[in-house]
Amino acid sequence: MTSAHAPRSAVIGLGSMGLGMALTMARKGLSVTGFDINPDAVAKLTQGGGTGCNNITEAATGCDIVVAVVVNAAQTDAVLFGEGGAAMAMARGGVIISSATMAPEDARRFAEKAKGLGLHYLDAPISGGAAKAASGELTIMASGTAEAFAGARPVLDVIAGTVYELGCAAGIGASFKMVNQLLAGVHIAAACEAMAFAKRLGLDLDQVYKVITASAGNSWMFENRVPHILEGDYSPRSAVNIFTKDLGIVGDMGRRETFPLPLSAAALQMFMMTAAAGMGRDDDASVARMFAMIAGLDLPERRKE
Amino acid sequence: MTSAHAPRSAVIGLGSMGLGMALTMARKGLSVTGFDINPDAVAKLTQGGGTGCNNITEAATGCDIVVAVVVNAAQTDAVLFGEGGAAMAMARGGVIISSATMAPEDARRFAEKAKGLGLHYLDAPISGGAAKAASGELTIMASGTAEAFAGARPVLDVIAGTVYELGCAAGIGASFKMVNQLLAGVHIAAACEAMAFAKRLGLDLDQVYKVITASAGNSWMFENRVPHILEGDYSPRSAVNIFTKDLGIVGDMGRRETFPLPLSAAALQMFMMTAAAGMGRDDDASVARMFAMIAGLDLPERRKE
């Protein structure tokens, strides 16, 4: 990436994370195109100073940097390497920034495919949520070759508050993200188990939140998700289905490594129970509502507007 | 507690928590006696300005406030209400501050016994560790009658940084503590599961600590206990056996309430496996060593002095 021209970039996948990243890139002066199957998201990118496109090829053609921000490995494979995928359209020598959460072996496989096409690949899962995507303060757990990092730098510089450089091969970034998701999923399920149990014990839940967040039982997820329970607001900030997916990947990795993961396995089943009860698209704090349903608890309900 | 004389207080149980509390009380000018089955601890109290005694009766006779800081409900029952126990020796109208971790029904039972003897009872489990006990900055999760709080106040004022007043009946403080222990135990086990898995995946464990403590997967316990794994130092700051006990109480409570607690149950089994492997008296981060033993991982070892 020593080309003299200003880099051209594209974002494939304009969900809340991808759109936030693309708008940040446009706002900070990068040339950015984008595509999503949702035309509203494409229109929003154009309104925000980027160029919304009608398909992936149109968005990626001639780009030096393509950011793939889709749901999983299968979608990443399709949008990059499938028919009409971005890898065939972008500039040779360019770099793919791949941000979907996936197993490390998928990241390694995609890096090989990219190499075969004369492209660089940065394994770059993200953390921080939609608000940090919109403000350009994402945390990125990245690994890849020096060329991949160098090529990705103009985009990393504008979208990230912190870039962890975790190693020189694809798969390492993905591994870090999965370790984080293991803990995040267990902590959400534990927060819900604890709050539902506190309700059964007759405790004042607002007081429980106040005491626990000041005690050794606290977690980032307890502090962040329990307010949803206290407000009875299960509109999805992050959905139950994200954790059936991510703890599913963790479980697959454990089996592949012949490594026991008893807490992650128990937490996955709790998210599965919640999804099976019809709450898969609701906020992940709905695990508390699953306990309430089973045990007949009266958790707080959202005030009617 | 409107007696004109300065209150006389006693601490029964001079382990790291009780001794720290008693020395703080002496340092801040309270009259304090104390007893423990360990004569070294008794001697330390005398050296620190308190009065070490030869038995519970001697320590408690005439006291207005008796703090019981022993390991569990059975020991609390024995030191307060057993033969030669403190409740029979202390001043009528006095208050018992009971700080061992126990099931709420035990706290309610002890409050009834105290009432029958003309005493007040403050259900007052503590959090914060030995350092905060020594500095007078404990967190206390307290419940009891207004009389119990009023009578306990001279001691609470000097030993605690924060006193949560959680309700007017014994058992509420104990319930809060058990909800905290549920979360603390699950989070320690999760931290160990995640770090052992990270090792299996070939990740740099120092880097994992750095990334996770800055990410949504963080917990108070991850941040506090993982350094023990990184340093290979399993000298007990808090032992595995504390959590086989406390998660055992949580499980008992769940069965009594007919309430499912899948994560706590899984975490208890992980501490049980670690204790069964001979590490019950070691630091609770030893759950990571249990994984290492099973899966043949090379976790960091303590540098030989």
By residue range, what is the domain housing residue A181? 175-295
Same domain, B41 and B77: yes
Judged against a pLDDT cut of 80, whether residue A80 lies above it is answered with: yes
Residue pair B6/B31 in contact by the 8 Å Cβ criterion: yes
Residue A73 lies in a domain: yes
Question: Is B183 in contact with A262 (Cβ distance < 8 A)?
Answer: no
Q: What is the ipTM of this complex?
A: 0.95
Residue pair B282/B234 in contact by the 8 Å Cβ criterion: yes
Judged by a CB distance cut-off of 8 A, whether residue B31 touches chain A is no
Query: What amino acid positions of B are annotated as catalytic residues?
Result: 177
Taking all residues of chain B, what is their mean pLDDT, rounded to a whole number? 96
Residue pair B279/B231 in contact by the 8 Å Cβ criterion: no
Total domains in the fold of chain A: 2
* B149 CA to centre of own chain: 20
Same domain, A59 and A161: yes
Residue pair A13/A78 in contact by the 8 Å Cβ criterion: no
Same domain, B249 and B155: no
In the chain, the amino acid numbered A210 is: K
Which residues between 102 and 121 in chain B have a beta carbon less than 8 angstroms from any beta carbon of chain A?
104
- Give which of B177, B209, B220, B256 to mutate to test A binding, by max A Cβ within 10 Å: B220
Same domain, A282 and A166: no
Domain boundary among B170, B188, B205: B170
pLDDT attached to residue B6: 87
Name the residue of chain B whose CA is nearest to A221's CA: B216
Residue A71 lies in a domain: yes
Digit-coded pLDDT (tens) for A161-199: 999 999 999 999 999 999 999 999 999 999 999 999 999
Digit-coded pLDDT (tens) for A263-285: 999 999 999 999 999 999 999 99
Name the residue of chain B whose CA is nearest to A290's CA: B260
Same domain, B195 and B98: no
Residue B46 lies in a domain: yes
**What number of other Cβ atoms are within 10 A of residue A289's Cβ?**
22
Same domain, A197 and A51: no
Share of chain A above pLDDT 70, in %: 98
pLDDT attached to residue B1: 44
* A229 CA to centre of own chain: 22
pLDDT attached to residue A5: 78
Same domain, B191 and B147: no
pLDDT attached to residue A129: 84
Measure CB to CB from residue B263 to each of A175, A182, A266 and give the nearest one.
Answer: A266
Instruction: Tell me which residue of A68, A30, A70, A63 sits closest to A49, measured CA to CA.
Output: A30
Residue A301 lies in a domain: no
Residue A300 lies in a domain: no
Judged by a CB distance cut-off of 8 A, whether residue B257 touches chain A is yes
Residue B230 lies in a domain: yes
pLDDT-derived band of residue A27, with 50, 70 and 90 as boundaries? very high
Residue B86 lies in a domain: yes
Give pLDDT tens digits along chain B (305 positions). 445 578 999 999 999 999 999 999 999 999 999 999 999 999 999 999 999 999 999 999 999 999 999 999 999 999 999 999 999 999 999 999 999 999 999 999 999 999 999 999 999 999 988 899 999 999 999 999 999 999 999 999 999 999 999 999 999 999 999 999 999 999 999 999 999 999 999 999 999 999 999 999 999 999 999 999 999 999 999 999 999 999 999 999 999 999 999 999 999 999 999 999 999 999 999 999 999 999 999 999 986 55
Name the residue of chain A whose CA is nearest to B172's CA: A203
Digit-coded pLDDT (tens) for B235-283: 999 999 999 999 999 999 999 999 999 999 999 999 999 999 999 999 9
A28 labelled catalytic: no
Digit-coded pLDDT (tens) for B62-80: 999 999 999 999 999 999 9
